[in-house]
Chains A and B, each alone.
Chain A
Amino acid sequence: KAGVTQTPRYLIKTRGQQVTLSCSPISGHRSVSWYQQTPGQGLQFLFEYFSETQRNKGNFPGRFSGRQFSNSRSEMNVSTLELGDSALYLCASSLGQGSQEQYFGPGTRLTVT
């Protein structure tokens, strides 16, 4: 079974631009979560989607948004990029119940200059 895939793996953007990251979950998984990882803040929860509905959202500004498609693939978008948005963005998939194991993708490294 293929694991969680994320594209692109690396991105370099300039301040003010916007970016879209993509995540394809493990086949059969309906929940996709997004996390931001930085050296200073560690892993921070962005949002979680289940069957195309956002069920949870972390404490990030409205510039961070996401969506999930009917095939469970998910995208997150960051508009008006700031230097502080430079981070490793990770997505995780699971079956969707709280007791299920979470599987993470390799991440997208975003650098904002």
Chain B
Amino acid sequence: KQEVTQIPAALSVPEGENLVLNCSFTDSAIYNLQWFRQDPGKGLTSLLLIQSSQREQTSGRLNASLDKSSGRSTLYIAASQPGDSATYLCAVPLNDYKLSFGAGTTVTVRA
């Protein structure tokens, strides 16, 4: 059974600081790993998708790395802004196309 863990559960940083969010998973046989952002009461916005054959993926200020052998992914957000305040979730699909989600990291960026 795939278990996905995100540490820390919450994070508060001053504006301009870089953010480092961690995601670990127990079964390394994954197709890909996806990072999402969720604002309170809203749906999930896809941020980055890393295929199992990739080591990292970048989009603007966001960079995500994937180390399948150690079962870890890290999302880096450079030069954080108050608008980056949200909950960030990582998810991995299983063979049956079900996504297993971590519990998320709630980020607060203080102005």
Given contacts A90-B43, A104-B44, A107-B43, contact A55 B34 (CB under 8 A): no
CB pair B46–A43 under 8 Å, yes or no, is no
Which residue on B lies nearest to A50, using beta carbons?
B97
CB pair B96–A90 under 8 Å, yes or no, is no
Residue A45 at the B interface, CB < 8 A? yes
Give the interface size class of chain B: 20 to 34
Q: By DSSP majority rule, is chain A's interface helix, strand, loop, or mixed? A: strand
Residues of B within 8 A of A106 (CB): 42-43
Give the interface size class of chain A: 20 to 34
Which residue on B lies nearest to A98, using beta carbons?
B31
Which residue on A lies nearest to B52, using beta carbons?
A99
Residues of A within 8 A of B93 (CB): 98, 102
B interface list, Cβ under 8 A from A: 31-32, 34, 36, 41-46, 49, 51-52, 89, 91, 93, 95-101, 103-104
